[in-house]
Amino acid sequence: MAATAIPINSLPSINPATGEVLAHVAATPASQIPLLVAQARTAQTKWAAIPLEERCALLVKLREQILTSRDSLADAVVLESGKPRVEALFADVFVSLDTAAYYAKQAPTLLRDERVSHHALAAKTKSGKIVHEPLGVIAIISSWNYPLAIPLSQIIPAIAAGNSVICKTSDFTPQCGALIQKLFDDATFPEGLITIVQGGSDVAQALISARPDKVFFTGSVTTGKRVAEACAKDLIPSVLELGGKDAMLVLADANLEIAASAAVWGSFTNCGQVCLSVERLFVESSVAEKFLALCAQQTQKLRLGPGNDPTTDVGPLIRPQQVLRMQALLDDAVTLGAIILCGGHTRPDLGPNFFEPTVISGVNQSMKLFQEETFGPILAVQIVQNEEEAIARCNDSDFALSASVFTSNSARGQAIARRLKAGAVMINDAISYFGISEAPHGGCKHSGWGRTHGKAGLLEMVQTKYIAVDHLPNREKPWWFRYGGALEKSADAFLNFEFGGISTKISNARQAMKTMFRDHGLR
């Protein structure tokens, strides 16, 4: 039997659980990107003219398409990312559905014109308002680990705000990218408004070079820096989500069984391939022994296997190089004194990309496990003496995406949250705020800049414009030309009247009024 011909310009869709090539998906030639951006500009002009309520009605249709297609969408996510199907349903399908529902309902309120009250006397004759206008063409360069949730949580608010979108989905999940395009086509969005492009770095580079009006990038720090540099050349604004090294603080008064369960899930969901995963855990010394034992016990119960097996808790890593990296990180930590409590081995008997969920203690800042984003199934624990040390250790990182605090005292947890350097902090939970549509997502330092999700994410998609109307249109303004000594004297009196105490206001009132009602024909 003759071998099936592989298209020259295509991307392989690979099942990480087996290494099997599932299909080949046509790649977008980089040379076509300028034309696609031009088409997106044409579509955006027409789209922006459509009333916001009508745009939101199409988002309702999109939500219905996602719900109808949930089984095929979940299947594609499992096959290309390797995660268990339950996680595909919760983390990808649910987040996508809820994003569409949230913006369909809330965008008209969130983008409503805002009246501006003027406190200064000099502006009292004017009325002002803030309006939100679409930016134009939004470029989205997305990630593979949540191949539906990440791109859709950015595409949806972009189009709700009146923009068009060119989205490069990951070359690791090309079938998921194709399904996203199908969702918008089936929901009858205008042609050219949302375009999914497929390819590698050459397509991403071409997309930025085509000068979209804003770029949203999700990925590594190294690539994010290149994206920021490329955008800066043309002063293209950007939002960068570059990953994290998220900390979890377990205080002595916490419910340790619940905290251990959260730590295990927060570290190993999606095989640890989550920007928000728990990668640094700080536990108070008085409860450390019991807590570590609970973490190890729960981890050893996890079932490792392919995502399409309903009994699987933890699936494979995405590619073999990630397996090698996990081993290298553990070897470095053990060499420097860390102790593996459970796991720590590859599982080639299951497939090429399986690595045991691992709990390792005695980790410190000298080890790569506490310096670099792990992005794999390793829970690294450091014992601290008290709350103050935990806070200091948490903030001692180049990353600042999110964090979590476990304590039985909610007020104490909230007080600690305010002291942590992070874009979000959860009290007695971890990661799940990503699934709360109202919650902004993003960080600072090496975790990037800007926000997605919620009102903050929607406002990243618009140009804010201030409009002022003067209600004395037939009167020249006091600060216009012609200048002179009399105006200077009146201006000084006006400053005293506006910003001085009661007696100063009274003594300067008469002269100050001459500023407001002076005769421009005289010096």
Q: Any idea which residues carry the catalytic annotation?
A: 241, 275
With H, G, I as helix, E, B as strand and everything else as coil, classify residue 246.
Answer: strand
List, as one string, the DSSP characters of 33-94.
Answer: HHHHHHHHHHHHHHHHTS-HHHHHHHHHHHHHHHHHTHHHHHHHHHHHH---HHHIIIIIII
Are 111 and 132 contacting, i.e. CB atoms less than 8 angstroms apart?
A: yes
- Angle at which helices 70-81 and 52-68 cross, to 10°: 70
State how beta strands 238-241 and 21-26 pair. unpaired
Q: Which residue is associated with the tokens 């994290």?
A: 244
Quote the tokens at residue 211.
């000068």
State how beta strands 378-384 and 278-284 pair. parallel
Give whole-number Cα distances, 292 to 155, 298, 301, 306, 461, in Å: 41, 10, 15, 27, 44
| CB-neighbour burial class of residue 206 (10 A; exposed 0-12, middle 13-18, buried 19+) | buried
State how beta strands 194-197 and 164-168 pair. parallel
| CB-neighbour burial class of residue 223 (10 A; exposed 0-12, middle 13-18, buried 19+) | middle
In eight-state DSSP terms, residue 483 is -
| CB-neighbour burial class of residue 338 (10 A; exposed 0-12, middle 13-18, buried 19+) | buried
Q: Which candidate, 464, 235, 494, 281, places its Cα nearest to that of 378?
A: 281
Q: In what order do the strands lie in the sheet with 114-116?
A: 114-116, 126-134, 462-470
Question: Could you write out the three-class secondary structure of 297-331?
Answer: HHHHCCCECCCCCCCCCECCCCCHHHHHHHHHHHH
- Cα(442)–Cα(61) distance, integer angstroms: 28
CB contact burial 242-272 (16+ within 10 A = b; e otherwise): bbbbbbbbbbbebebeebbebbbbbbbbbbb
What is the torsional sign of CA 245, 141, 223, 454? negative
Quote the tokens at residue 446.
């090496």
| CB-neighbour burial class of residue 286 (10 A; exposed 0-12, middle 13-18, buried 19+) | middle
- Cα(129)–Cα(254) distance, integer angstroms: 48
